[in-house]
Amino acid sequence: MASPIQAIGALAVTALAASTVPACAVEDALSPYLKGATAFMAGFVPPQPGAYVTTTYYYSGTATAEVRNGNVELGIDTTLNGGLLTATFVTDWKVLGGQYAFGVTTGYVGLGLDATISTGLGGKQVSLSNDGIADTIVTPVMLGWHDGNLHWDVAMSVYIPTGSYDTGGLSISKNVWGFFPQLGMTWFDPKSGWDVSGMLTYVTLTRNDATDYQSGDLLQLDWGVGKHFGQEGAWEIGVAGNLVEQIGPDTGSGAKLGPFKAESFGLGPALTYRTEVGHLPLNLGVRWEHDVTTRNTLDGDVVAVSATIVL
């Protein structure tokens, strides 16, 4: 199952304001709903009630410039390692004909950053790192439907700033609340083994009052096309991708780069394997999605390694 809350963590990176170089939109350069969150079977909510527990996430990227804590920073090189725990609870309750589920994601993340702070006296090199409890995503409502080979779900997730935040350092938290309405769809043919899936997420964030930065709204699409093979289709191999489009401008006195809008498209291979540990179903997965094109955001790689066990 592909939960819409598999990706969290505030990737605290950096920023710049210079009209002659590409810059990063959205405060800290990356949406709190991290791209590459899901892929295969994204719109499928399992009809079997149970607890589905997942996953791990890694991202590394670079950028010419971006804004962090109200400072202008250049030549950014950043990494995020997240041990993220997602628990999704599928019930046997029906709401509007759809199966009701809910969930929560939290975790422990480590951040690293190398950049140059732009000052009136020139540039200052910085190398920072931090780790701690991440921000939390709660999904109080998720509904899934099935009609033959077509499966789809809708969900509403809420991003809660539970991590540490300090304008004087590299923060784990983004210091904002977020709201993520989502729509997932999957077409899966058990006979041929083909799976075509996508998850569309709308990201809207509150203002960061500490920096007077209002990030613009984003549309994010995670998708996957794969084919099941092997005994009972236990393996699935294919291509996964992500698309991010910022549809609203950044505003506020802290948005020193102006109303820049982020865009990115990532693509890469994906593989999953379904097995059992004892009598417990276990789904293992790995994906690598490389940013093919970017504008006003980080340019890097998503590596997602997941293990989902059904309790």
- Give the pLDDT confidence of 71-88 residue by residue, as tens digits: 545 556 677 777 788 899
* CATH code for the domain in which residue 242 is found: 2.40.160.40
Q: Is residue 10 part of a domain?
A: no
The total number of structural domains that make up the chain: 1
Mean pLDDT of 200-204: 97
The continuous run of DSSP H or E covering 77 comes out as strand 71-95
In a domain, 16, yes or no: no
In a domain, 112, yes or no: yes
Least confident of 7-11, 208-212, 245-249, 298-302: 7-11
**3-state DSSP assignment of residue 183:** strand
- Domain span at residue 121 reads 27-310
Question: Among 62, 60, 74, which Cα is nearest to 125's?
Answer: 74
Asked if pLDDT for residue 284 goes beyond 60, the answer is: yes
Look-up of token digits 């149970």:
50
DSSP conformational letter for 213: B
Q: CA 15, CA 12: separation in Å to the nearest integer?
A: 10
Would you state the structure tokens that stand for residue 153, as one six-digit string? 């779900």
The two tokens of residue 89 are: 């609870």
pLDDT score for 8: 34
Please, what's the largest Cα pairwise distance for the chain?
A: 67
Residue 134 gets which letter from DSSP?
Answer: P
In a domain, 270, yes or no: yes
Q: What is the pLDDT of residue 266?
A: 95
Cα separation, 303 vs 59, whole angstroms:
6
Whose tokens are 């019930």? That residue is 91
Q: Does residue 55 have a cis peptide bond before it, meaning omega lies within 30 degrees of 0? A: yes
Would residue 12 count as lying in a domain? Answer: no
Closest alpha carbon to 29 in 14, 44, 40, 39: 14
Q: Is residue 21 part of a domain?
A: no
Cβ atoms of 224 and 39 closer than 8 Å: yes
Assigned domain for 22 exists: no
Contact 275, 235 (CB under 8 A): no
Short-list 16, 97, 54, 55, CA closest to 302: 55
DSSP 208: B
Lowest mean pLDDT among 2-11, 86-95, 226-235: 2-11
**Separation of alpha carbons 205 and 262, rounded Å:** 15
**Helix boundaries (H) for 158-211:** none
Q: Strand pairing partners for 268?
A: 240
Residue 169 lies in a domain: yes
**pTM of the full structure:** 0.83
User: What's phi and psi for 62, nearest 5 deg?
Assistant: -130, 160
* Distance in Å from the first CA to the final CA of the chain: 13
Non-local (6+) Cβ contacts of 30 within 8 A are: 11, 13, 59, 61, 297, 298
pLDDT per residue as tens digits for the range 123-180 = 556 666 777 888 999 999 999 999 999 999 999 999 999 998 887 777 788 999 999 9
